[in-house]
Amino acid sequence: MSSTMSSPASALQRAARIDGWQLAALLIALLVLLPLLALAWTAAQGSDAWQHVLANVLPQAARNTLWLLLGVGALTVAIGTGSAWLVTAYDFPGRGTVAWALLLPLAVPTYIVAYAYLDLLHPLGPVQSLIRALLGYDSPRDFRLPDIRGLAGCIVLLGLVLYPYVYITTRAMFMTQAASLLEAARTLGAGRAAAFRRVALPLARPAIAVGAALALLETLNDIGASEFLGVQTLTVAVYTTWITRSDLPGAAQIALAMLLVVVAVIALERYGRRRQGYANTLRPRPMQPQRLRGVAGWAALALALLPVLLGFVAPAAYLVAETWQRFAEGAGVSATLWRSLWNTLRVATLATLVTVAAGLVLAWALRLAQARRQTRVASAALRVGSLGYAVPGTVLAIGLLAPLAWFDDGANALLQAFGATPRMLLMGSVSALVLAYVLRFLIIGAGGIESGFARIPPSLDQAARALGTPPAAVLRRVHLPLLRPAMAAAALLVFVDTMKELPATLLLRPLNFETLATWLYADAARGAYEDGAVAALLIVLAGLLPVIVLARTGLKYGQEVSSS
C-alpha cells in the first residue's frame, strides 16, 4: 500500500524540482515542435491536387533530390577530406594562407554562387567570350560550352560552396590524431598513401560524417541555386505548390517527404560516427608535415587553391566587377535596395536578440540542472531546440503557416468581442519572419552559449550558492560578464545566417517587404543580374565576418595543438 502511495508523491516531487528556468526551456522546446506537429496536421487535411502531385511532381523531385544529395555528398567529402589532408600532412609554399582560405566559400550562399556563374558562363558572358577570342571564333553559334543549367551543374556548384563543412571538421580530426599511429603504420611498411587510406581516413570517419551531414542539410535547404539552374527538387516543389498552386496541404505533404530525407541524413551521420571514441588519446602528438619542395610544392599549392578560386574568388570577383561597373556608369544604388538593406538589418537584429536570449535560457537551464544532477528535462529541451536547424527553411515556414493562422483567428475573435477591427497580427508580418529565424537558428545561439558555460568552473556557482545568491543574480553578476565572448560569437553567426536565409523569407515575408536575399532572388528570376550584384556583394561581405573569426580560431587551435 505504501509503495502505491509513494509513486504519485514521488512524481509530484520530481515535478516540483522543475524550476522556472527548466519550465521556460520546455516552452521553447514546445515552440520548436509546434511547426512540425502543425505540418502533419496540415498534410492530413488532404489536397485536391495530390494525385497530380504524386504522379507528376513528387517522383521527379524526389529523384532529383536523391541524385543531388549523392553528388554533393561525394564531391564535398572528396574536396573537404582531400584538402584537409593536404594542408595537414604536407608543408608547401603558402600552406598557412591556404589553410584558412579554404574556409572562404562558406561566406558565399549557394544561390549567390549559382547567380554569379549563370552570368559568368553565359554564352555571351566573359568566360565564353574570352575562350572564343583566343580560339578565333566570332559567334556563340561557332563555339559554346555546355550549359551549366541542370543537375550536374547544380552538384558541382553546391559542392564547391559546401565542402568547407567537411574540411573544417576533418582537419580538426587530422590535427589531433596521434602521430604515433601513423608512424607505426609506416614502420610496418605502409607508404604515406597507404597510411592515409588505412589509418588516418578510418579514424577521421566520424568527422567526415558530421561535415557531410551538415553539407547535405544545407543542400536540402537550398532553393535559389536549384531553381536558378532548373533543377526541380523537393524544396522547389514545396515552394511552387504553395505559391503557384496555393495548395497548402499539398505543400505540407511534400514537406513531410522532405522530413523523411532529413531523418535519413541524420541517421546516416549517426551511423558514420557510431564508434567515435575508439581513437581518442589523452595528449596526442600531432603529425609532422612532410616538406614538399620545387614542382611538388607548387603543384600542392595549386591543387589546394583550386576550390578556393572556383568557390569564392571567381564569384566574388564577378560581384565586385559588376558593382564597380554599376557605380562607374552612374547607376548607383536604388532606393528599393536601400530599403531592402534596412529591412535585412532590422529583421536580422531582432532575430539575433531573441535567438541569443532563448539560447541563453536553454543553456542556463541545463547548467542549473547539471548542478543538481537532474539533467533529463533540460537536456531534452536542448535536443528538441536543435531540431529547427535540421529542418529546411521551406519546411519550417510551411509548418508555421497553420499556427500563425490559428493565433490570428483567436486574437481576432477577442478583438471583435471588444468591438475592435480584426486584422492580420502575425501572418504576413515581420514577427512571423523573426519567429521562423529564431526556431531555425536557435541551436546556434544555445550551442555557442553552452560551450561558453563549459569553460566556467562550477566552483563559481557553488560559491555563489553558498552566499545565498539566487540563480538569476548568479547569471547576471557572475556568468554574463564571462559569457560575453561566447554570446558575441553566437550572435554574429545567427546574424549572418539570418541575412543569408532565403527559403523561409520567401514564404513568410510581408507584402512588399524585400530583404537582400529576396531582392537578389527577384533580380535573378528576371534575368537582371547587374541589379542584383550589389545585394549579393553585401551578403558575401557580411558572410566573411564569421569566416574570419572561424579561421582565426582554427589557426589558434592548430598552434595550441602543435605546441602541446
Across the chain, which has 564 residues, the per-10-residue mean pLDDT values are: 45 53 88 90 79 80 93 95 90 89 90 89 84 82 84 95 91 74 67 71 82 90 89 90 82 86 81 56 62 89 94 91 80 79 92 93 87 81 85 90 88 82 80 93 88 83 79 83 86 89 89 88 72 83 81 51 38
Residue spans of the domains in the chain: they are 19-38+333-527
- Contact criterion met (CB below 8 Å) for 146 and 140: no
- 214: nearest Cα among 35, 447, 378: 447
428: three-class secondary structure by DSSP: coil
Residues 6+ apart with CB under 8 A from 284: 176, 177, 178, 179, 180
CA dihedral sign, ordered 306, 311, 313, 315: positive
Task: Output the DSSP codes for 418-455.
Answer: TTPPP--SSTTSHHHHHHHHHHHHHHHHHHHHHHHHHT
On whether the 19-38+333-527 domain is CATH 1.10.3720.10, my answer is yes
Which of 121, 132, 131, 126 is CA-nearest to residue 156?
Answer: 121
Beta bridge partners of 148: none
**176: CB partners within 8 A, 6+ apart:** 284, 286, 561
- pLDDT of 284 reads 56
DSSP 19: -
Could you tell me the pTM of the whole model? 0.84
CA distance 206 to 7: 42
Query: Measuring CA to CA, which residue among 391, 406, 148 is closest to residue 263?
Result: 391
C-alpha 423/C-alpha 446 separation (Å) is 34
On whether the CB atoms of residues 340 and 514 are closer than 8 A, the answer is yes
Contacts of residue 334, defined as CB under 8 A and 6 or more positions apart, other chains included, come to 531
What local confidence, expressed as pLDDT, does residue 265 receive?
83
Q: Which helix (H) or strand (E) holds 260?
A: helix 248-272
C-alpha cell, 449: 552559449
What would you measure as the largest C-alpha separation in the chain, in angstroms?
A: 98
The sign of the dihedral angle between the CA atoms of 188, 190, 195, 199 is: negative
